[in-house]
Amino acid sequence: MAAPLALVTGGGRGIGAAVCERLAADGYRVLLTYHTSSRPAEEVVGRILASGSDAVAVKVDCSDMGEVALLADHPWFASGLDVLVLNHGRYDRMAADELDHERLRQTMSTNFEGAFMVWRSVQEFLSNDARIVVIGSQLGVRGSPHGADYSASKAALHAWARSLAQAVGPKGQRVNIIAPGYVDTDILAGDSAEKRKQRESEVPLQRIGQPEDIAGVVSFLYSTDSAYVNGAVIHVNGGLFLP
């Protein structure tokens, strides 16, 4: 019998890569998508294969319904889909009062509509006890003067995921949201040493989160330990933001 299957969007880098490797360590086959990061995605696949688990990377632009629809044709889905992690996203720093409609449309299309479209594309394969984990953001709750479009897209994602949790819960499926704070990914890559120290000082735990910190919580949400957790927004931010 084949190992259970997990799909991770945006699995080539950062949080997505850490989640893929944690899933593999937990006994899952991993199908990961990437948009432009082909080499990092293949490196993730290589590490998983070297560990003795199965993985494959598929190029998908999650803002393109045509590409998302083709994802459902992958033969691995024939055995069913047990875990869906919606992690992909875009963030481009811009002051809220400089935001234009095209930029807002692109961000919403990728971050919110893309997640919805991926779910719609693969929902027929989801097992009766499927676990869906949505990677949101603290900015989807608190907002941001430099990422209004990103904040809006994540807020919409949170609301949709909590609604979906109520809709599919009777089937036995669970949907939960993780809202990370500062995490050491590409979003923070441009920080100066001074800016990084400032961020660290803002966090009560006095450090920037690592992708593995998020992956551990994702693992909890697809495990049986969280069997009665559904529709939750879990803030993983070292105490930076306490809603």
Residue percentage of the chain with pLDDT more than 90 = 84
The verdict on residue 27 lying in a domain is yes
Q: What angle do CA 2, 217, 13 make, to 5 degrees?
A: 75
Residue percentage of the chain with pLDDT more than 70 = 99
Q: Domain of 24?
A: 5-236
Of 65, 60, 63, 54, residue with least CA distance to 6: 54
Q: Across all residues in the chain, what is the average pLDDT?
A: 94
What's the confidence (pLDDT) of residue 69? Answer: 94
Average pLDDT over residues 115-121: 97
Domain tally, the chain: 1
Q: Which residues contact 75 (CB under 8 A, 6 or more apart)?
A: none
Q: What is the CATH number of the domain that holds 196?
A: 3.40.50.720
The verdict on residue 241 lying in a domain is no
- In this predicted structure, the answer to whether residue 4 has a pLDDT above a threshold of 90 is yes
Residues involved in catalysis: 150
* Ramachandran category for residue 132: left, alpha or beta (phi over 0 → left; psi -120 to 50 → alpha): beta
The verdict on residue 23 lying in a domain is yes
CA 94 to chain centre: 22
Alpha carbon distance 10, 211 (integer Å): 13
The verdict on residue 242 lying in a domain is no
Q: Beta strand pairing status for 233-236 and 81-86? A: unpaired
The verdict on residue 243 lying in a domain is no
What's the confidence (pLDDT) of residue 97? Answer: 75
The verdict on residue 182 lying in a domain is yes
- In this predicted structure, the answer to whether residue 45 has a pLDDT above a threshold of 80 is yes
Give the pLDDT confidence of 161-201 residue by residue, as tens digits: 999 999 999 999 999 999 999 999 878 877 888 899 999 99
The verdict on residue 80 lying in a domain is yes
The verdict on residue 72 lying in a domain is yes
What's the confidence (pLDDT) of residue 94? Answer: 67
Give the pLDDT confidence of 57-104 residue by residue, as tens digits: 999 999 999 999 999 999 999 999 999 999 998 777 767 777 778 888
